Amino acid sequence: MKHYAEINHFNICTGIMTMPKEVDRENYLEIEDFNNDLLWRKYDQETETWSEEKFLPDRPAIQLDEFEQLKAEKDQLELTLNSVLQTNAMSLKTMAEQSRQLRDSQSLSADIMLKMARNSIN
């Protein structure tokens, strides 16, 4: 088992986890053992040490960041949905046109067959 500290873009540990195998992620730092005391400590990449002080999260700021992220995801989903709806509308319009053309073709074929039948009778 491998133990990892998940660090954010400020190099602050935001989570500790154990994985069954090695994980190669930029924000995962392998640690010797499962140590919850590293939570909210800052990792110094030059000295490869953890800070003594903890950098506890500012809850309102985190909630605002999460809100902004969710809003951006919602906006992206709406754009994707609108694109899908437009594509579906165009497909339905194309299908309706093809259906009309098929009916016209079938009607024309029926007329031709009727004329051929009349000509063979005469």
Who's near 27: CB < 8 A, 6+ residues apart?
A: 6, 7, 8, 9
Return all residues near 5 (Cβ < 8 A) that are at least 6 apart: 13, 15, 16, 28, 29, 31, 38, 43
Q: Confidence band (pLDDT; 50, 70, 90) for 63? A: low
Read off the pLDDT of residues 73-119 as tens digits, 9 standing for 90 and up.
Answer: 999 999 999 999 999 999 999 999 999 999 989 988 888 888 888 88
Instruction: State the number of CA atoms in the 13 A half-sphere of 36 facing the CB.
Output: 0
Q: Among positive and negative, which fits the CA dihedral 44, 47, 50, 53? A: negative
Domain boundaries, the chain: 2-54, 58-122
pLDDT, tens only, 23-57 = 999 999 999 999 999 999 999 999 999 999 998 87
- How confident is the model at residue 60, as a pLDDT? 64
Asked whether the beta carbons of 62 and 70 are under 8 A apart, the reply is no
Residues 6 or more apart in contact with residue 23 via CB below 8 angstroms = 2, 4
